[in-house]
Structure 1
Amino acid sequence: MTSQELTDLLQIPQLVSPKQTYMLRDILDEFPYFQSARAMFLKGLKNTESFKYNQALKVTAAYTSDRSILFDFITSDTFNQNEISQYIKQNADYINGLEVLMEDISVDTTGDVDQTLKQHIEDTVVILDPDLFQPKKDDAGTENSELKEEEEINKKTVSISNLDKKEIESFLNIGKPFQFAKTETHSFNEWLNISKFKPIKREIEDSPKEEPNLERAKKFELIDKFISKNPKLEAKKAKTSSHNIAKAQMIQPEALMTETLARIYVEQKNYKKAIQSYKILSLKYPEKSGFFADQIKAIHKLQE
């Protein structure tokens, strides 16, 4: 990659191509603290929905001193713009193929707008007369709709039970880039804490030899003399935090639960927490309880 190409990418990072993404990886191997290159590398992986994105985001967070800036970047409109542009490209042929006829073009009729509006208002007053309405009787229609909903749920259950492991992983979006919203700072920080590298524990082979009793006694004697001759040191008062601790403790766990965090637990194979998360989400968003129930069934299937 030439310096001019790199400069152009720095100005418009959303135009990074798959080929340039791999070239940026080579640059990062040589210059790991090149933050701008890491940002463009992340953008390139996100554009292709690469399975390497989540790991690259984790490494970028390790090289970033202020992770709030990184979070603002990955949740910005510029970073997520590719999904919109891809949708436009997919529908470009359809839009270009549309034929517009003269009859479809609206004609300016501002002169008749007021009269038409008045007529609509008068018609609406008559239509909304409460005396013209009668209470709807309960019939077998509601029972039929409930039966249809149960049949749809059963169909979903059967389809999930017939999926193999790869299809289940695809259904749970395992390996796909995490999509954090601007309000999901807790989920982002929780993911970094869960996935941080554990330090390597090394056993010490040679235990340190004990010092002779005489040398140890001399050291304690010197410490006692120092304490007796020098005045007592006053401990510094700890600064009290100005933020409202009570308010922070009032935040309920369900308020911090998000779909992204549930996905993170699935990725980490912490299936117990993932199931608990989806149960909390189903109570938090009852309109999506069917979707969360399918996620739980898929996790149980993955554990088999």
Structure 2
Amino acid sequence: MVGITKKNIAELITQPEKITDQQLSSLVSLANNYPFSGLLNALLAKVYHLSNDIAYHSQLEKAAFSLCDRKVLYKYIHRPALIEKIKAVITEDTDPQNPNPVIKDDDPQLVELEKNIVSAAINLSIQKEVATNSASESLQLEKENIDLSNHLMPLTSWLSPTGNNKKQPFNQEELIENFISGKKEKQQTPFFSPIESAKLSLIDSEEFVTETLAEIHVKQGNYPKAIKIYEKLMLKFPEKNTFFASRIRFIQEKSNYK
């Protein structure tokens, strides 16, 4: 049985359709040994996607959990041209004296070799993702702190009875006039939530359209959005137009949405 090497891992990232049954078995084993490796999980999801394997959706969830940016995962699976960047991460850590160490089933140092091949290269990829996101988050937090400091007032200003924040006298006539003219009080702006903002950004993204997301909208009763996603999927994957069209008809019949 031919083992997995750094070279053929890099080749499989760029040409996953060429994976053999033996290599697939080794890849599944490596992904199980390193469940938090975004690269291995993404590669396995890509292979399952190409072969229409029934395990694709469950593997896609694992890959999405182990990667920092789900858009990167989506583009890798559906846009093969972007995988050169991932390949570069693997080749950076290749040992020049032994660039293609072969892992065999009967090798007594199998576990150690797997660590040398996978741990260094894959963890380097994860560290780069984390470092990039951490730097971005730090800049965002610093900006928010600067903006917030411009609006802060000393505690003594709030407590001082002689401060400038005196309560304005109640004007009954102005209140009645505003009510008659149809004026409404300015609604309070909801507090910024990074988590909710990320969810909305992910769901409403023009690029992140999947069958799973469409079915989530169906379960939530968001039938127009579900139909819109299936219409986009028909453009992206014309070979599945019959299936997508049947789902659209089902949603329309279920919701009477046309």
TM-score bucket (shorter structure): 0.3 to 0.5
Q: More relative contact order in 1 or in 2 (CA 8 Å, sep 6+)?
A: 1
Larger radius of gyration: 1
TM-score, normalized by length of structure 2?
Answer: 0.36
